[in-house]
Amino acid sequence: MANHQDPITYGPAAPHGPDVDGNHPSMVSPDFGMYQNEKEIFDSLLKPDDSYDADGTYWADMSIWRRFKFVRKVDAIETKREFGSFWSMFKADPLSPLGFYFRNMVLPGAGLGLEGYVLFSIGNLKPLFQKGFPNCWNKELTCSATWLAAVEYLEICGIIVGQILVGVIGDWIGRRWGLIQDATIMFIGLLMLTAAWGVTENGWVICYVWSLFFYGIGVGGEYPMTATAGMENAVGSGKVSTRDDRLHRGRKVTSAFLMQGWGQFFNQVLLILLLLIFHHGSGNAPYSKLAVQWTYRVSFAIPAVGTLWLVYYRVYKMKSASKQLQAAKKKSSVTGYDAQSLKIIINHFGGRLLATAGTWYMNDVFFYGNKLFQGEFIKVITPNNSSVMPGWLYNLINVGVALCGYYLASFLIDNKLYGRKHMQTVGFLMDFILFVVPAFNFEYYTRPEHIHSFQAMYFLSSFFNQFGPNSVTFIAAAEVYPTAVRATAHGFSAAVGKLGALTAAVLYNYIDTQTKFYVVPWFGLAGVLLTVVFMPDTTGLDLKEQERRWAFIRAGREQDYHGIAIHPKHLSLWERFRGVSKPYDPDLDYKQRIEEMRKEWEVNMQEKYDEKDGRLDREDFEDEDLPNHATHFFQRTTTAEHLVPREKELNEKEDYQSSSDSPTRR
């Protein structure tokens, strides 16, 4: 807020409206310095220097070489600023950067970290169960083959139920409730997994399977809730986005998502340590039933403690998680679930649904197939091995390689020269190549003298899966849709993705290792085609602009929107073919945005007058959602004919005109 004692010196009265040509006199204020003309005020607000150059050209409208220089300049400035902030924190307190990372990356992704720990432990535990309970898990003498197969099927089915159910709840009741519900379900599920038992071995398996299904519901809900809440926390709920929003939104969400990789890593480390503890310091077979039971039960009990803390954190420390959703509902006059927006999405953004759901499906055939296939992979490179330790150690290496992919994705996902769409296309393409090469040369690469090449290709496929579709599908399924139905659309896309995991789980039970290599690569190629044709690129796009475009679409005035959300760079080939980008006009949009800001300011002032019951002071003229210089401009350029009724009434009062605390009126 401005200091009441500092007068604002304005030029002549300006009933003319915004001076976008730069012909009107300068304006001076102690709050924000001098602007040569009114156009500079709005350029600073509507054309930020991280997206527009000195000439006011949007980065996507620049030529390739000019864009390259602009992006490098912005990145250099931002890197210097971030390093300076890091160094200042480090000098003040050497541990403060770790605290910053924990608050901004670890906590938002804690649910996915716990999910990754438990979800992927199932594949790690299966070979241990086969060694400790061979008559049940291996020979299928004491247990039903149907229930053993259901371990993989029902887990995925539970995830699908959670993704759809919690996605709808997150848009209906709110993000915070969805987050609390997920954590609670996962905590109860972990208690069930830890205590799973049965009178017979088959009864134990049945109890184990249904515990996984229940836990899977909470896991499924984590996908839409973490993505939407993380993104909306990054973007904020005000009308104007920040530099940090525009430059690092993708990094914030991906940094939370990569906690899934750390969950896998810690699960594998703890399983190795627990087996060594309960198997008397040895990792070699045979394993006693007691050692197996203690190993797997304690491995589930440990994350239960962390999940209980997560319930507490979300209940008491995330009370504003639904703020942006509530703002969007208020603007659209919606109190419950926004069914109208859902209908518009289905009719209007069908291509985007095909892109986010279809590419997620193709990715999960690779991602979950990779986890399900790792046992077969280990058999190829370590034949005649009877211990689970070599497989676990190789998986630990694989997870480490995947983590490198996660982190590189977080560093480059916001880069305007590479970004989301290129990252996903390259990732799918590399997965296709790294699987199709050994598919048609399987015997060659599985020979002892060439096995290291086979290993390298397998590990690299994990790297490019994370540095590509696995990271991008997670963020794109939230970014390309409006706030009102973001969780629903993300949940639906993720659920279709899990059908890909189910496809891999079913398919791998009926084909041999060689055939798996023949079949799987083509899902990667299909992912490339879907990405190139149907996926829009939201890299560098201010999501406030996407919400603005959505307001036009919802009002049935799509052709009246002329902003950057329909720039060809931010649309898919399919949308460009349909002519969605034709109304794009940066000059017309610039004038339109100024007029929209004026109207919003006048509405806000009317509400404040009504709320204050006529008491008008300097603070009443300042809108907390707009920078001071824009607010001052609207104060100055709102003439008597434009003023809201209550302000006109107050202007007529002589005692108000003589008040020393009231702003100068003209």
pLDDT in tens, 261-274: 999 999 999 999 99
What per-residue confidence (pLDDT) applies to 360?
Answer: 95
pLDDT exceeds cutoff 90 at 323:
no
pLDDT tens readout for residues 610-627: 766 555 554 444 454 555
Residue 347 has what pLDDT?
Answer: 84
- Per the domain annotation, does 484 fall within a domain? yes
Q: Beta 27-29 vs 33-35: how paired, if at all? A: antiparallel
Q: Are residues 550 and 529 in the same domain?
A: no
pLDDT in tens, 356-388: 999 999 999 888 766 656 666 677 777 777 788
Residue 491 sits in the same domain as residue 570: no
Q: How confident is the model at residue 332 (pLDDT cuts 50, 70, 90)?
A: low
Once rounded to an integer, what is the mean pLDDT over residues 448-476?
89
> Which of 302-306, 529-533, 627-631, 638-642 has maximum average pLDDT?
529-533
Helices within 382-470 (DSSP H only): 389-412, 419-439, 442-445, 451-465
Same-domain check for residues 519 and 463: yes
Residue 649 has pLDDT above 60, yes or no: no
Last residue in a domain, options 492, 509, 534: 534
- On whether residue 10 sits in a domain, the answer given is no
Examine residue 25 and state whether it is found in any structural domain, yes or no: no
> What is the rounded CA–CA span in Å between residue 7 and residue 230?
41
Tens-place pLDDT, residues 39-84: 777 777 889 999 999 999 999 999 999 999 999 999 999 999 999 9
Do 498 and 552 fall into the same domain? no
Task: For residue 7, name the pLDDT band (cuts at 50, 70, 90).
Answer: very low
313/457 same-domain check? yes
Indicate the number of domains in the chain: 2
Tell me: do 527 and 554 sit in the same domain.
Answer: no
The CATH number linked to 315 is 1.20.1250.20
Same domain, 402 and 474: yes
Are the beta carbons of 282 and 169 closer than 8 angstroms? no
At 133-143, the pLDDT tens digits run 999 998 889 99
* pTM, full prediction: 0.82
Residue 185 has pLDDT above 90, yes or no: yes
With beta carbons less than 8 A apart as the criterion, state whether 303 and 154 touch. no
Q: Is residue 33 one of the residues assigned to a domain?
A: no
Helices (H) and strands (E) in the chain, counts: 28, 2
Indicate whether 524 belongs to any domain: yes
Give a yes or no: residue 392 inside a domain. yes
As a whole number of angstroms, the distance between CA 391 and CA 330 comes to: 54
Model pLDDT, residue 617: 52
pLDDT digits (tens, 9 = 90+) for 535-586: 999 999 988 898 899 889 988 899 999 999 999 999 999 999 999 999 999 9
- Together in a domain, 328 and 474: yes
Domain containing residue 549:
543-584
Does residue 286 share a domain with residue 311? Answer: yes
- More confident site: 654 or 105: 105
The reply to whether 589 falls in a domain is: no
| 379 and 270 share one domain | yes
β-bridge partners, 178: none
Residue 329 sits in the same domain as residue 243: yes
663: left (phi over 0), alpha (psi -120 to 50) or beta: beta
Does 530 share its domain with 550?
no
Q: pLDDT at position 645, please?
A: 42
pLDDT digits (tens, 9 = 90+) for 415-448: 999 999 999 999 999 999 998 998 898 888 888 7
Domain assignment present for 594 = no
